[in-house]
Amino acid sequence: MSRRQFTVPARSGGEPDDTGCSILHVDMDAFYASVSLLARPELVGTPVIIGGGGNRGVVLSATYEARAFGVAAAMPMARARRLCPQATVVAPDYTRYSQVSQAVMAVFGTVTPIVEPLSMDEAFLDVSGAGRRLGSPSRIARMVRDTIADEQGVTCSVGVAPTKFVAKLASGLAKPDGLLVVPRTEVVPFLHQLPVGALWGVGERTEESLHRLGLRTVADIAHTPVQTLRRGLGETTGAHLHDLAWGRDPRPVVPARRERSISSDETFAHDVDDPAVIHRQLLKLSDRTAARMRAAGLVGRTVTLKVRFADFTTITRSRTLRDPTDVSRDLYATARDLFDGLGLQRARLRLVGVKVEGLLEAGTAPVQGRLDEPAHGWRDADRAVDRASARFGAGAVRPASLVRDARSTGADARPDGRGARAPARGGPPAGP
């Protein structure tokens, strides 16, 4: 696997001095697409879009080959297909994404305890205390990249800088599969060559305001009196952008915060008014959400149902359970009750979603067994499914009602979703 390294040359020439560049920003390259392609190696090097198979969903991720045609995350799938009709569309595998993300974060944890995840696929690391043990910041960055590539088979880009803001900019410019070091003495020249849109917090509207003021580059902002910026952009924004333009960003790396919620939702290929179809979708989403919770080692108490109607009106309903859970059946039963309680009377739905909040570490929360559970209960069955999915891929084992959806000869399932789990075509048996 190739290893690219970019540097901002020091004024004296040669390797840049990374003294004081204790902040790393590590950003996985096209994370969801890269992980999905681990199971589809024949698609490597081709345009691939990760998302729902229909035209009404959105793009989760895309390979760089697809991005070259203009495909981008959060783009409507219909538009992505028009831009890149030759792309292969692959369904997301959220369980696998969670597993790889956990493994990547574990690599960060071997380097420093001061890790601030921003999402499943990127994080800041403060390596100021790791130098004696592991070497210079740029050496640590190379080690992180090599370890992730060797152990997980996916690549990342790393920015090394004195501040969080500059490190994040550097990792973006190093993509894909690159390393960019911005020495402390080169921060201002590095920033001043960039367009104003590169600054953290500059969206489309702020960029338009800056352009109206005649400001096109970061250097223009830096050399504009801060009072002028405050009058044109507002007190807080003006001062903030002026500080960033001179490389001033005092924010520390804040160690990991617990995830507040885990959710899954899906847009139907066509508006749906059949409760049976909606129930099966809720079962699928509950399975997916619970699997992600188990992969993260979390349990939760509050289940939220999201419903979006054909006219895009969206409502939510929540229920807090007596005991925290990570069991798919519990989430589905609650989500289904919430949906049935709406009494929608064949209303046409565009999207449904299931979210769990009130998350706790699994080992810190007592999990109450149920009187109707057999000796090997629903939690054991879910973990057997997790093991099968890790080995054979997501969807290798599914509830029988979902298998029936996928093929006409599927198993008979109980209408409450409690039918035995059945193997998908070519999958392993369901386990104990």
To the query of whether residue 122 is one of the catalytic residues in this protein, the response is yes
6-30+95-188: what fold? Alpha-Beta Plaits (3.30.70)
Residue 385 near residue 392 (C-beta atoms within 8 A): no
Q: What are 120-154's pLDDT values in tens digits?
A: 899 999 999 998 899 999 999 999 999 999 999 99
How high is the pLDDT of residue 5? 47
For CATH 3.40.1170.60, list the domain ranges present in the chain: 40-92
Q: How many other CB atoms sit within 10 Å of the CB of residue 250?
A: 7
Percentage of the chain exceeding pLDDT 90: 61
Comparing CA positions, the residue from 228, 216, 221, 229 lying closest to residue 247 is: 221
CATH 3.30.1490.100 maps onto the chain at: 261-423
Kindly report the CATH class assigned to 261-423: alpha beta
Condensed to tens digits (0 to 9), the pLDDT of residues 100-121 reads: 998 999 999 999 999 999 888 9
Q: What average pLDDT does this structure show over 302-328?
A: 92
Higher pLDDT, 384 or 164: 164
pTM over 0.75: no
| Tally of CA atoms within 13 A in the half-sphere of 116 that contains its CB | 14
Known binding-site positions for Mg(2+) = 27, 121
Give domain 40-92's CATH number out of 3.30.590.10, 3.30.470.20, 3.40.1170.60, 3.40.30.10: 3.40.1170.60
Name the binding residues. Answer: 27, 121
Q: What is the pLDDT of residue 3?
A: 42
Name the catalytic one among 65, 116, 122, 186: 122
Mean pLDDT, the chain, as a whole number?
83
**What per-residue confidence (pLDDT) applies to 6?**
45
pLDDT in tens, 347-400: 899 999 999 998 887 765 555 554 455 544 555 666 666 555 555 555 555 565
Residue 405 has pLDDT above 80, yes or no: no
pLDDT number for residue 267: 87
Instruction: Give me the helix-helix angle, 94-111 and 31-38, nearest 10°.
Output: 110
Q: Are strands 6-7 and 179-181 parallel, antiparallel or unpaired?
A: parallel
Using omega within 30 degrees of 0 as the cis cutoff, is the peptide bond preceding 176 cis? yes
Give the pLDDT of residue 364: 58
Architecture of domain 193-245 in this structure: Orthogonal Bundle (1.10)
